[in-house]
Amino acid sequence: MLDFAAVSLTYHGALLVGAVAAYYKYGDRTEVTEKSLKGTKEALDGLRAYLGRALSESVRPTVERIIANAPSPEAVLEELRGEAFRDDVSSFVNSDIDELLSYRRLFHARGRWSVWSRRISWAVFIFLLMQAVFTCYFAIVGKVLNHTISLTLVLVTFSISAVMVAFCVFCAGVMLYYHDKISSYRDKIL
């Protein structure tokens, strides 16, 4: 008869080693974040500064005309709501649409990468704890106490572990996807 405790111990022991390695890589997000998002803040800051200057230059003539000709603060506000000011802003948006879209895409990609980074970090931590519990359980109950381990329990722990591995691999894939997007946008900007 097959020794389910030995099989489970081998399986979960190997997964525990893998979980430790994955935790070393993804558990502490500080280094992963530093590597993946390096330059992203500078690119976003540079884009934001450029867009601010471009908008300022686009509306400057209208604002200067309004200030020079407005008799009261209420008139200034009314002019800023007017067609000329809206045309200046519209002109800015049309001329710098690529930069606006790049800023939005880079900002979005960075946010999504961070969400998936958190998910993989917690998933790997939970996976590590689960494998430690499973390994200890099968070692103590199956080997030390010599109790019979049921096939159902073995299959349940194998299935839970497989789902966690699949989720961690999925998270890593999504992180790579957003990392590639970040790199692409950042390379266009910098």
143, HSE (Cβ side, Cα atoms, 13 Å): 13
Instruction: Write out the two tokens for 18.
Output: 């893998």
Closest CA to 167 of 141, 132, 130: 130
pLDDT tens for each residue of 14-47: 999 999 999 888 877 777 677 667 778 788 888 8
Please give the Cα distance from 106 to 111 (Å, whole number): 9
25 by DSSP, 3-state: which? helix
3-state secondary structure 12-35: HHHHHHHHHHHHHHHCCHHHHHHH
Kindly report the average pLDDT of the chain as a whole number.
87
pTM reported for the whole predicted model: 0.75
Residue 115 banded pLDDT, cuts 50, 70, 90:
very high
Q: What is the pLDDT of residue 1?
A: 54
